[in-house]
A and B are shown apart, each in its own frame.
Chain A
Amino acid sequence: MALLEINNLSIAVASQGQLLPVVTDCSFSVAAHETLGVVGESGCGKSLTALAIMGLLEGSQVNITSGSIVFDGRDLLQLRPAQRRAIMGNQMAMVFQEPMTSLNPVYRIGEQITEVLQQHRKITHRESRQRALELLDLVKIPHPQDRIDSYPHQLSGGQRQRVMIAIAMACEPALLIADEPTTALDVTVQKEVLDLMLDLQTRTGTSIILISHDLGVIAETCDEVAVMYRGRIIEKATTASLFANMAHPYTRGLLASIPTIDTDNDWLQAIPGRVPGIDEKVNGCPFHPRCAHTETPCTQTAPRLIDTHPHHAVRCHFAGEI
């Protein structure tokens, strides 16, 4: 059985008395010890899906409108808040997109790591500090003894993200959600941080949901991939199958937009047009205004997710044909 199973998850934003759907009918699962990649352009609902899984949407304008999130056999949406909190930071942890601002500026980093340990483990102050030192060493922060008493503003962006990873890994979670952990970092640091996470995964056997808008990164690191467009999963496959039988025009566009040395293709050239805003309504296939293969059915009915190969599903009227 899968560690995490998302069934028909829909998320909507309450805005001026209206509910605008931002994630629609998403289903995917993550097996134990595996890595799932989630790709898509900015604003397609990746972060909201991740926050929904973590349970961090409560108290905001954004609400889960339907679906279930089954983690380790329990539907998280049915749990009481206290039960939910016992999982957060413990069996399930998250690394955020914004390393510069995700640490509390007024506490030393040691304090911020031990806090999560003391929340979930019966542990003395001294033991938790010892564990924090080990964790800093694990995430390859040089001189943990000195760094443990630093404040976040004294660290670089890459170091802060490492500290965030240390906090996330502190209780050895079964699932780590990494929401574009490297987007805000220097290119040189990006690879180090990714390698660090994969290294930790082999040591602890954590499952990872890696969110990115870079198919190249996904190709290198993930077992399975889900491609999102405007809040919907439009293609879902094992990594091998995805790259072998890439079916959706949007996924192909994403692939074409990976910068390579000899061609300086970029985003805008690869997929023409822009993502419509969440308050704009598009009939038929949500991608059709930007698609090069649009035909009559595309503008009229929304396609369903259909299996084209084993472990490979596509949401396109012409999957397999184009």
Chain B
Amino acid sequence: MLGYTLKRLLTLIPTLLVASILIFLFVHLIPGDPASILLGDSATPEEIASLSAHMGLDRPLWQQYLVWFKNVLHGDFGQSIFFKTPVLEVIADGAETSICLALMTMFWIVLIGIPVGIVSASFHGSWVDQITSGGAMLLASIPTFWLGLYLILIFSVGLGWFPSSGFPSISDEGGLSNLRYLILPSLTLAAPNAALIVRLVRASMLDVSREDHVRTARAKGLHPARVSIKHVFRNALIAVAAAFGFTFAALVSEAVVTETVFSLPGIGRLVVQSILRRDYPVIQGVILLIVLLYLVINLLVDLAYARLDPRVSLQ
């Protein structure tokens, strides 16, 4: 297990290397010169040139890449052009919001998505199934930002139950009760993803329920609910876990939109704003970290997979 993990970690290196080159290239192909953006409209060409030289922007692209990558390996992602502070600090500032949002979202997804999926599959073909699985598909067809805007309209502006935007740190005044700022955002973000989980749990459970061993379980005289959970769902979980990597990628995409709708000081909004501000170092840093996170999560998924399915052995 440990050996396998180490080996998998080693195979991450080439992937990350390719990813870093792609990110660097993408970002540097973006039109617009950071030096002139930084100095504003009133700057003279000489000022721009000297700042470019200072930032190393006049060197060949591959040299810039090597310098950047070497620094990244030392944990230095460079300076944000906009904030004038280290990129890692800028990212760390957004991390709390994004992590809290992600955890709350996962909470809804697991709390709602999995039970509804089980119910839907257990009553396959009945009106319960049609409503839950059809409803899930409808939910997944709603643009995230549209849902967010109407949740704000109804629950913040209309009923005044929840704040409509922002997120003060939970270490600030208010403590954990500040999490109420994240209730609407996390529900918005959870909606399409929980819907995906409902569909996934349902489809995998239907696949499993056609397997022979489920008939054996029923022949034992077990209660149908017990057959559903202990036998069908437990096997379906293997396929659900395998798809979790994709769920994560979908979650990140939607988080970018959600954080923008609710003006949350998180990493998702940081990406969008950095792109609009042409803040190269921040874009590169954030995307590289997200890719790394994606790879690590997939590794964890594989480890979990092996735990869930005794037929899989890690080597």
Contacts and interface: CB of A to CB of B under 8 A. Distances in A.
Partners in one complex: yes
Interface of A: 54, 56, 85-90, 93-94, 96, 98, 101-106, 115-116, 119-120, 151, 153, 164, 167
Contact of B221 (A86, A102, A105): A86
Given A104-B235, A106-B310, A151-B311, A89 B220 contact: yes
Interface in B281-315: 308-311
A90 B310 contact: no
Contacts of B218: 56, 88
Given A56-B215, A96-B212, A98-B212, A105 B220 contact: no
Nearest to A113: B220
Contact of B212 (A86, A102, A119): A102
A106 B217 CA distance: 13
A298 B218 CA distance: 42
Nearest to A88: B221
Contact of A106 (B220, B222, B234): B234
A68 B194 CA distance: 46
A267 B85 CA distance: 84
B216 A164 contact: yes
Nearest to B310: A151
Given A85-B223, A88-B221, A106-B310, 9 more contacts: A88-B219, A98-B212, A104-B217, A104-B235, A105-B235, A106-B234, A115-B217, A115-B222, A116-B220
Given A85-B222, A89-B220, A102 B310 contact: no
B222 A94 contact: no
Contacts of A153: 310-311
A103 B235 contact: no
Tell me which of A87, A102, A120, A151 has the highest count of chain B C-beta atoms within 10 A of its own C-beta: A102
B211 interface: yes
B118 to A, nearest CB: 16
A16 to B, nearest CB: 15
A85 B222 CA distance: 7
Interface string B195-221: 000000000000000011101111111
Given A90-B221, A115-B222, A104 B310 contact: no
Contacts of A98: 212
Contacts of B216: 96, 102-104, 164, 167
Contacts of B223: 85
Contact of B220 (A96, A101, A119): A119
B128 to A, nearest CB: 14
A96 B215 contact: yes
A89 B226 CA distance: 15
A101 B213 contact: yes
A225 B222 CA distance: 32
B83 to A, nearest CB: 50
Nearest to B223: A85
The 7 closest A-B pairs by CB, nearest first: A88-B221, A89-B220, A89-B221, A101-B212, A85-B221, A116-B220, A104-B213
Contacts of B311: 105, 151, 153
A116 B213 contact: no
A294 B217 CA distance: 46
20 contacts: A54-B219, A56-B215, A56-B218, A85-B222, A88-B221, A89-B222, A101-B213, A102-B216, A103-B216, A104-B216, A104-B231, A105-B310, A106-B235, A106-B308, A106-B310, A116-B221, A119-B220, A119-B222, A151-B310, A153-B311
